[in-house]
Structure 1
């Protein structure tokens, strides 16, 4: 395929009117010299043979005779001039002479499918034979492509466009008499050796192969990449009895090479897993699955492979298993899914319908050959009736942990769709409690765990009781037994892989939990907020106090953004009045130590010419960070809830571009914390935390994923002794619960008592790190990797050797702090320099660090 202004990819068929010459040589135009240079590339032996075939079966091609010339004199004149040498008569002509045999003329052309595009794309080169009333289009191998009639021959000239049969044709130039006569003479003179071929001048940097102008066209040899075919499992007799009652032929379903080549081993395993679930090969009565891989393992690609394979193939007969597929995602990921379909398949193979303000779900019914609908959860709820009008064969729910609550409308409506095949994607299927896990399982495979009452009695009670630090051995053993039983029941349709399998593909990762010393202003406002709640004249809600304390942690100035809830006016007014008395109306960076740490890090990033992502759950905090960037002239871009969905992919792509001028990406964790690939950055700061550990893990996974080329540094900032540290402690407990249910290979987890978790509003001003004191850990905070009081099981996710050079060089979950390095004040200068925080050491009280650096020697078994 090519455009008409450029030579064909078949090479050697068309030369522009003026050839580029070496430096110092004069450019000669055929228009002024009469040279047939412009047709030299066209006068190949194959074309001339083609032209000769349409004439009478004589060896000489007749030329229009002049009044003073005879055929014999014409032949003699040709003998006087060897091939490739122009006669004086031709050289002095002002224009080429077109070949004319009777009433026929022949032109060099390009052809392609009819199109109204301004910049036409052509399929290839050919020749056009123009008779008095008939037109014949042939390719360079003399195959007839089409015929036409009715065109006036006198109107045809260079640049003319016309339709011949089913092809649109553009005339390049006319075939000249001189070229035909000279070529015919070469073909007929078999006694003399053929002259050396004329070669196209070398063009520096050209990828087009050098093809002899006088030689035959060489067949193109396809370039193939070796790959291991992915053949999917065949149905057994029970499956055939259930789904193939008509006795249709059993097919051999395979993944197409374009996808099989790019799938990594764990993704191949995931495709087979999903295939077994949705086809009923695993269980003919339950056709759902949960793909619970951690972020960055390619869940989207695995689903695209499944969808494309079963849109084209089926287990029985000649029918594909899927006709229509529904993909429901967060609004920020609809365009990302479309982009992934185009990346792996291309618009030539599949058309995807993305529901937005212009494309309505009801329009999907009228679409032909558009099998996939992508829609956001919000739009799905709004347009449920239109979506339900289509019979879908598969439903995929991305970030499916949104359906953890059965009472929300999206979950209720999705359950009403009459589609048994359901795939749920989630990096963290258990976020708060086992009831949420039950909701997700019940969505993909209804009733497989019984009713919720039965599930609570059989599993939930025992597992939660065994998670309490003060439980006895019998309760602990019963809980572990029930957890193993639950994991065994769900393992058939829940697949969980961790980041450890990406070690060989991704660069190093450095994670830090940084505890920042609160400023004096922050300490005073903490005390005032707690006093208002405990001793205030008016009742203050718990939520209002929590919100106020989190704002103080980010920066006290955020208290001036009043809440709309009148119930909280008393607390807001009291704190704002005290803030004005203590600091006035100025915004001082030193009033929030986390902001000081970020300022120091931005300076280091700018000096190293790296890029950084700053993540927050508050738009007001993003405003504050944007003002900080403006003050120090750091160019930045931003994505939050107000960013139009259609622009989000464009913003991300521009930031990831190596030519981007933006060094800082301001990201709202609510709007863009899931699914986005920000591999253009090598550092990420989570400025504040959420109660849900999954939200934080999703946000922190934006930079360390496929496509990342640089070593990554990820920072979680916490204000020491404040509510932020209490939130972090609660996250440790939730993450531990997640491992029990879906990742039983990590039985060791940090445990915190209920009493410790309830201590939210207390403020500790003297401790360097409350979390370190509560682990419990006896290390001195000098960079040690301590051992837990109860040593973990020897079972590991991947154990290559008992003598690894880096025993802590694994991807640990956030709750495995016993296997992280512990640092307390005074912090080593080497640590601060590696973190890029050498100017912020006075404001940091404690650091947990986990380093993943894979070396070739680490992967060699002994």
Structure 2
């Protein structure tokens, strides 16, 4: 039905077409897609604010009969939420690996998911690319052995340095929830916490992944939520934290990688920022600047902006590139001020999703 709505609105020839001259469905869809891209999408993608709004208004008028939105209500009982997106500069060894992988990606036909995986892993720590079998297509055994020797060198990975720095500063008074899409970084951080802080798995540091049975996941969450318990950090895969999981003991949430689907990021945040939370929740989404991670973030942020603007009468600029004027999080501000190796490229705050 939407195909006909598009053609009826945008195709001047559609109304004049005779009844018996109906085209095949795939031809109609192709024609509707072209009109939609030429008349609406091109306007939304324009650099001119007036033209953007014109395209959004056209889309709103065409979809208001079957699309609705519910923003939810801010709960007065929750202490607040601050969401920061942090673009991090890779270390020298990370930069070398990421440049090489992006050159490989450019030459690959289609979209190479295995190369994207390697980029995601290398953005956290260079040694992590060893965890993927496909890496042998692009690196020799000698190169991989050299990278494996760097496994416990925290200074070789900018995201690793940030996580350890943050945990060290807050561990006495707060609990930290660390999300990752892949298992390999979780195992690395588990080893680092054991070596650096002398923590034990199952005591100070807990792990929650999809490999655990549902009953075991419940035990891990109960242990993390225990008042006065020894647990300080929970390492979790996003896929393991399905709906209904509550982890309100954590007041700091770290997202180690980016998602094509922004709803997964929202769900991860909602594990901590939900009824029952007693502290302000601080969220840090870590991205390697100049990589596909940054592209994914820009794209998903743009999609969210467009979806919001369809229901907004007032035009607001796309906030995906807004730099935070002031870092209200005291711990993050201290880390940035004391950063001597210039790990931070840009820090952005999601004002729309954050609450005071």
The TM-score normalised by the length of structure 2 is 0.77
Query: Quick check: which one's helix share is greater?
Result: 2
How far did 1:476 drift? Answer: 5.5
Structure 2 match to 1:424: none
Structure 2 match to 1:848: 348
Distance 1:589 1:577, change over 3 A: same
Structure 2 match to 1:549: 119
How far did 1:848 drift? Answer: 1.6
How far did 1:584 drift? Answer: 3.7
How far did 1:687 drift? Answer: 0.9
Indicate conservation of the 8 Å contact 2:44/2:51, yes or no.
no
**Aligned with 2:298 (options 729, 738, 741):** 729
1:166-181 equivalences in 2 (<5 Å): none
Structure 1 match to 2:260: 691
Q: Deviations over 1:314-345 (max 9, x none)?
A: xxxxxxxxxxxxxxxxxxxxxxxxxxxxxxxx
Structure 1 match to 2:10: none
SS in 2 for 1:691: coil
SS in 2 for 1:666: strand
Indicate conservation of the 8 Å contact 1:596/1:840, yes or no.
no
Structure 2 match to 1:590: 155
How far did 1:840 drift? Answer: 5.6
Distance, in Å, in 2 between the alignment partners of 1:831 and 1:709 is 17
RMSD of aligned alpha carbons: 3.4
Indicate conservation of the 8 Å contact 1:556/1:579, yes or no.
no
Structure 1 match to 2:71: 497
**Aligned with 1:529 (options 79, 85, 101):** 101
1:327-406 equivalences in 2 (<5 Å): none
SS in 2 for 1:677: coil
SS in 2 for 1:529: helix
Distance, in Å, in 1 between the alignment partners of 2:270 and 2:156 is 30
How far did 1:718 drift? Answer: 1.4
Structure 2 match to 1:600: 165
Q: Deviations over 1:341-399 (max 9, x none)?
A: xxxxxxxxxxxxxxxxxxxxxxxxxxxxxxxxxxxxxxxxxxxxxxxxxxxxxxxxxxx
Structure 1 match to 2:179: 615
Indicate conservation of the 8 Å contact 1:605/1:836, yes or no.
no
SS in 1 for 2:349: strand
SS in 1 for 2:299: helix
Structure 2 match to 1:330: none
1:613-762 equivalences in 2 (<5 Å): 613-631=177-195, 632-634=197-199, 635-672=204-241, 674-741=243-310, 743-744=311-312, 747-750=315-318
Q: Deviations over 1:497-519 (max 9, x none)?
A: 24xx3152210222211222211
Distance 1:739 1:531, change over 3 A: closer
Indicate conservation of the 8 Å contact 1:604/1:837, yes or no.
no
Indicate conservation of the 8 Å contact 1:516/1:718, yes or no.
yes
Indicate conservation of the 8 Å contact 2:254/2:286, yes or no.
yes
**Aligned with 1:570 (options 129, 137, 153):** 137
Distance 1:486 1:720, change over 3 A: same
Indicate conservation of the 8 Å contact 2:152/2:192, yes or no.
no
1:302-313 equivalences in 2 (<5 Å): none
Distance 1:694 1:837, change over 3 A: same
Structure 2 match to 1:837: 335
Distance, in Å, in 1 between the alignment partners of 2:157 and 2:259 is 19
SS in 2 for 1:513: strand
Distance, in Å, in 2 between the alignment partners of 1:676 and 1:614 is 15
Indicate conservation of the 8 Å contact 2:93/2:156, yes or no.
yes
Distance, in Å, in 2 between the alignment partners of 1:475 and 1:622 is 42
Indicate conservation of the 8 Å contact 1:689/1:727, yes or no.
yes
SS in 1 for 2:41: helix
How far did 1:667 drift? Answer: 1.2
Indicate conservation of the 8 Å contact 1:516/1:593, yes or no.
yes
Q: Deviations over 1:587-610 (max 9, x none)?
A: 311110110010010111113x21
**Aligned with 1:477 (options 50, 54, 61):** 54
Distance 1:592 1:853, change over 3 A: same
Indicate conservation of the 8 Å contact 1:688/1:716, yes or no.
yes
Structure 2 match to 1:507: 79
Distance, in Å, in 2 between the alignment partners of 1:840 and 1:645 is 42
Q: Deviations over 1:500-555 (max 9, x none)?
A: x31522102222112222111111112332444568xx989732322221111011
Structure 2, unmatched stretches of 5+, are 1-24
Structure 1, unmatched stretches of 5+, are 1-450, 751-814, 855-862
How far did 1:744 drift? Answer: 3.3
Distance 1:713 1:616, change over 3 A: same
How far did 1:615 drift? Answer: 0.4
Q: Deviations over 1:396-448 (max 9, x none)?
A: xxxxxxxxxxxxxxxxxxxxxxxxxxxxxxxxxxxxxxxxxxxxxxxxxxxxx
Distance, in Å, in 1 between the alignment partners of 2:30 and 2:61 is 14
Higher relative contact order (CA 8 A, sep 6+): 2
The yes-or-no answer on 1:466 pairing with 2:57 is no
Distance, in Å, in 2 between the alignment partners of 1:839 and 1:473 is 40
SS in 2 for 1:518: coil
Structure 2 match to 1:174: none
Indicate conservation of the 8 Å contact 1:832/1:838, yes or no.
no
Distance 1:637 1:531, change over 3 A: same
How far did 1:837 drift? Answer: 2.6
The TM-score normalised by the length of structure 1 is 0.34
Distance, in Å, in 1 between the alignment partners of 2:56 and 2:109 is 41
Distance 1:472 1:841, change over 3 A: closer
Distance 1:583 1:661, change over 3 A: closer
Indicate conservation of the 8 Å contact 1:680/1:703, yes or no.
yes
Distance 1:745 1:639, change over 3 A: farther
How far did 1:660 drift? Answer: 2.7
Indicate conservation of the 8 Å contact 2:130/2:148, yes or no.
no
